[in-house]
Chains A and B, each alone.
Chain A
Amino acid sequence: MAHQVWLIARRSVVRTFRQPGVWIPPLTFPLMLMAVNSNGLRAATHLPGFPTHSFLAFFMPFSFLQGALFATGIAGTDLARDIDTGFLNRLALTPVSGAALLLGQIGGAVGLGIAQTVVYLGVALAAGVHIDAGVGGALLIVVLAILIVIAWGNLGLWIALRTGSGEGVQSQFPLLFFVTFISSINLPRNLISVTWFRDIATINPVSYMIESLRSLVIVGWDGEALALGFLCIFGLMAVSLFLSVRQLKVRMTRT
């Protein structure tokens, strides 16, 4: 099966990187947002209890999550196109397994995720961000970012398999962005003064994904933040994989 995953993933990566319109925005938009927010919101670092003096260091991990959201769209849209063109049927007529198909399909998104992570990290380091957890922490950031891409990417696959259209995938994008923004991306949860916002941010798994990445940048090795982050990422991955596998059985009804 590993070979099948590799074959499908390679095709997904090749296809993604042959479409500049697909990979340039996810590489550049998060950087732009990072630049704008780290300047526009840096006064937030003067708030009592704000965990760092650099808003760039605080905000930078959000880029990885934003990149993962783009990956969701890419993985979903690509699969929806395969359904629409009949390419999924072509693959279904080969001995490829359903699991290999799903894992391979997000290969392009993972490839892009790796490129994004390296670029975001490189830009942040060049801009003076210091990774408190050191080189090991930077490597763990890459691992976490890839896991987040897989978890969110499978959500994109599920939506694609359910709707069968690129438009269907794109229409879910604003909702995912909304969920992402009602989290601790802009402020630590303890500094969010609006109660309902803080409550939603507290139950939103996105907060813990961000905080695990952020802890490596501004705190160092924070076991609790990392454990909660991994828990949320694997939780989302389990749910999104379950949904996409189940939906694949509905969509790909080969005997």
Chain B
Amino acid sequence: MGRSDRGIEAEGLIRRFKDVDAVRGIDLRVAPGEIYGFLGPNGAGKSTTVHMLTTLLPPTAGRATVAGYDVARQGPQVRASIGAALQEAALDPFLTGREHLRLQASLHGIAGAERKRLIEALLDRVGLTQAGDRKVRTYSGGMKRRLDLALALIHDPSIIFLDEPTTGLDPQSRTALWAEVGRLAREEGVTIFLTTQYLEEADVLADRVGIIDHGLIVAEGTPAQLKAEIGKPTVEVVPESADELDRLRALLRRFGDETAARPGAFAVQLDGHGALPDVVRALDSESLRAAQINLHEPSLDDVFLAKTGRTLEGAEAD
């Protein structure tokens, strides 16, 4: 499979709708074969950015290249290089899954035996071989999303845009889609630009995450980098005997500052004077028996909170 050695680049990308600045100057760079998670609440500018990068919407200002082609001046070349599954599964309820794939393949100029082979391979890959001749209106949400993904892949694109691909899916369908997306990037070298409002999705799937709020990227990096940037892990220990809480307190204070904990437990935010194994060793050496030890890593929601002053959930309600 011939993959582009160019990913996605954007500089000062802006999109205005009358009086509304939906995207206010986005700079980003996605390397070939990378999964880039674009995380933000509804209305943050995620879909507008995707529409610009997929050539469906001309930018008001700034520039972007996808697979090495300028999105404003080389639309047809960009479209030939990308696949996209946009926010809603854009399917015709009265066509079958196989008919969708046939139409999409034919419009991309794929015909004859090659088209038939591709359709069967893609149906198999997304687990829709049995349902291929059923009308889409009988599909579940997960099946529609899987067909959507197959349609995005029909012309063997080097870059795929997935706009909130798991919104509204049950956990099982979500996990299955994550597995397929991960496989595409790891095994086939497809570059994936994934927008999501689910922290877990970005955390699990993305090599790097860009957090967008009010049309601007407010943070960018690997999930681990972003979390490390804003805070350190917290260790919470519940002693086996409540009488030992004072001894536990004294011991844990050696590793960091006290932080909020459940009743009957004591917690510190690790300040770099040791990690969880050191805490366990110290407990052992002082013969302090713990009923429970919990390590809380900072989440991407903590990152969002630190960068925007709101939680992602709170931003949804804005």
B70 to chain A, nearest CB (A): 9
Q: Which residues B75-106 have CB closer than 8 A to chain A? A: 75-76, 78-80, 82, 84, 86-88, 90-92, 94-95, 99, 103-104, 106
Q: Is A92 interfacial (CB-CB < 8 Å)? A: yes
Q: Mark A84-107, 1 if CB is under 8 A from B, else 0.
A: 011101111111100000000000
A22 nearest in chain B by CB position: B94
Taking the closest CB of chain A, its distance from the CB of B203, in whole angstroms, is 27
A163 interfacial by beta-carbon distance below 8 Å = no
- B75 / chain A contacts, CB cutoff of 8 Å: 254-255
Give Cα A96–Cα B80 distance, bound, in whole angstroms.
Answer: 11
> In the bound complex, do residue A94 and residue B90 qualify as a contact, i.e. CB atoms below 8 Å apart?
no
Q: Give the CA-CA distance A14 to B94 in the complex, in Å.
A: 8
> Interface readout for A1-24 with B: 1 if CB under 8 Å, 0 if not?
001100100010011001100000
Q: Are B90 and A89 in contact (CB under 8 A)?
A: yes
A18–B96 alpha-carbon span in the complex (Å): 11
Distance of A15 Cα from B109 Cα, bound (Å): 22
**Residue A253, interface by CB 8 Å:** yes
In the complex the two chains form, what is the Cα distance from A253 to B94 in whole Å? Answer: 27
| Prevailing SS type, chain B contact patch | loop
Task: Please indicate the chain A residues that have their CB under 8 angstroms from the CB of B103 in the complex.
Answer: 7, 11
A-B contact count (CB 8 A): 70
Q: Which residues of B contact A11 (CB under 8 A)?
A: 92, 95, 99, 103
**Distance in angstroms between the alpha carbons of A90 and B86 in the assembled complex:** 8
List B contacts of A91 (CB < 8 A). Answer: 107
Instruction: A85 to B87: give the CA distance in the assembly, Å.
Output: 10
Write the nearest CB–CB distance from A88 to chain B, whole angstroms. Answer: 8
Contacts of B135 in A (CB 8 A): 18
Partner of A254, one of B56, B82, B95: B56
* Contact A254-B99, Cβ < 8 Å, known A87-B92, A95-B76: no
Q: A93-B54, A95-B80 are in contact. Are A86 and B94 (CB under 8 A)?
A: no
When the two chains form their complex, are residues B107 and A89 in contact, meaning their CB atoms are under 8 A apart?
A: no
Q: Does B49 contact A (CB under 8 A)?
A: no
Q: Counting CB contacts under 8 A, is B57 at the interface?
A: yes
- Of chain A, the residue at the smallest CB distance from B106 is A7
How many angstroms between the C-alpha atoms of A13 and B76 in the bound complex? 28
A94 neighbours in B (Cβ, 8 Å):
79, 104, 107-108
A255/B99 contact (C-beta < 8 A), A85-B90, A94-B108 known: no
Least CB distance from A10 to B in Å reads 8
Do residues B76 and A87 form an inter-chain contact, with CB atoms below 8 A? no
CB atoms of A95 and B109 under 8 A apart: yes
Q: Which chain B positions have C-beta within 8 A of A253? A: 56-58
Q: B-facing mask of A212-237, CB < 8 A → 1, else 0?
A: 00000000000000000000000000
B-chain residues with CB within 8 Å of residue A90 when the two chains form the complex: 86, 90, 104, 151
Q: How many residues of A contact B (CB 8 A)?
A: 23
A3 to B91, CA, bound (A): 21
Complexed CA–CA distance, A92 and B76 (Å): 10
Complex contact B56–A15 (CB within 8 A): no
A254 to B71 Cα, complex, angstroms? 9
Contact in complex: A87, B107 (CB < 8 Å) = no
Chain B 39-66: CB-based contact to A (< 8 A → 1; otherwise 0): 0000000000000001111100000000
Tell me the minimal C-beta distance from B224 to chain A in angstroms: 34
B94 contacts A89, C-beta separation under 8 Å: no
Minimum C-beta distance from B120 to chain A (A): 20
Q: Hey, which chain A residues are within 8 Å of B108, CB to CB?
A: 94-95
B186 CB-CB contact with A under 8 Å: no
Cβ contact within 8 Å between B94 and A19 = yes
A15 surroundings in chain B (CB, below 8 A)? 92, 94-95
Task: Tell whether B73 is near chain A: CB-to-CB under 8 Å.
Answer: yes
- Docked pose: A60 CA to B184 CA in angstroms: 60
Q: Give the chain A neighbours of B71 by CB distance below 8 A.
A: 255
B221 to A: closest C-beta gap in Å: 30
User: Would you give the shortest CB distance from B66 to chain A, in whole angstroms?
Assistant: 11
- B107 close to A86 (CB less than 8 A): no
Question: Are A87 and B91 in contact (CB-based, < 8 A)?
Answer: yes
Closest to B71 in A: A255
| Residues of the B chain whose Cβ atoms lie less than 8 Å from the Cβ of A7 | 103, 106-107
B58 neighbours in A (Cβ, 8 Å): 253, 255
CA distance A15 to B99 in the complex (A): 11
Q: Which of A4, A18, A82, A89 contacts B86 (CB 8 A)?
A: A89
* A-B contact sample (9 more), CB < 8 A, given A253-B57, A255-B58: A11-B99, A14-B99, A85-B88, A85-B92, A86-B88, A93-B84, A94-B107, A253-B56, A254-B79
The chain A residues found within 8 Å of chain B, CB to CB, are: 3-4, 7, 11, 14-15, 18-19, 82, 85-87, 89-96, 253-255
Query: Can you report 25 residue pairs joining A to B where beta carbons are below 8 Å apart?
Result: A7-B106, A11-B92, A11-B99, A14-B95, A15-B95, A82-B92, A85-B88, A85-B90, A86-B90, A87-B90, A87-B92, A93-B55, A93-B56, A93-B82, A94-B79, A94-B104, A95-B80, A95-B107, A254-B55, A254-B75, A254-B79, A255-B55, A255-B71, A255-B75, A255-B78
Q: A-B pairs with the 9 shortest C-beta distances?
A: A86-B90, A255-B75, A94-B107, A18-B94, A15-B94, A90-B90, A255-B55, A87-B90, A254-B55
